[in-house]
């Protein structure tokens, strides 16, 4: 039961923070969902750092990973919102914005995970 509670509470905190960041940033660029992009990239960087610390120093235990990676990062990042916003851009016939948003989200997200792992190797 404890693992479920760790994921539940971590996910709740991550979801509330994601909502706040998205609400704060999404209105800046109507054809680019900056808030969703930011939380997904920050979440990728954070999970890369968590994995890097866990692999390098064996400092983060299974319970902490459940709370932080599965719960918090899972609640904080949002593929479903990313997909819905991409569909909205397509519906608005904004193929250029859709393409940029999709490619940038995936490429920068993968880069952010790699950057997090790299940062941990330097420590």
Q: Per residue in 36-79, pLDDT tens? A: 999 999 999 999 898 888 888 777 888 998 999 899 999 999 88
Over residues 7-21, mean pLDDT? 96
Confidence (pLDDT) at 80: 78
Q: Are 15 and 83 in contact (CB under 8 A)?
A: no
Spatial neighbors of 120 by CB under 8 A, at least 6 apart, are 48, 49, 51, 52, 53, 55, 56
CA 99 – CA 81 distance, rounded (Å): 16
In the chain, the percentage of residues whose pLDDT exceeds 70 is 100
Confidence (pLDDT) at 59: 76
Confidence (pLDDT) at 98: 94
Of the pLDDT bands very low, low, confident and very high (cuts 50, 70, 90), residue 24 is very high
For residue 92, pLDDT over 80 is answered with yes
Look over the chain and give the mean of its residue pLDDT values, rounded to a whole number: 91
């Amino acid at each position: 039961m404890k693992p479920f509670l760790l994921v539940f509470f971590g996910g709740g905190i991550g979801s509330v923070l994601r909502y706040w960041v998205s609400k704060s940033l999404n209105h800046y660029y109507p054809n680019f969902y900056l808030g969703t992009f930011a939380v997904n990239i920050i979440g990728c960087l954070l999970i890369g750092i968590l994995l890097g610390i866990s692999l390098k120093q064996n400092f983060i235990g299974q319970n902490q990973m459940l709370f932080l990676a599965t719960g918090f990062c899972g609640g904080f990042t949002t593929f479903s919102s990313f997909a819905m916003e991409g569909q909205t851009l397509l519906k608005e016939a904004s193929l250029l914005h859709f393409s940029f948003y999709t490619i940038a989200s995936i490429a920068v997200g993968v880069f952010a995970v790699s950057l997090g792992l790299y940062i941990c190797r330097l420590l």
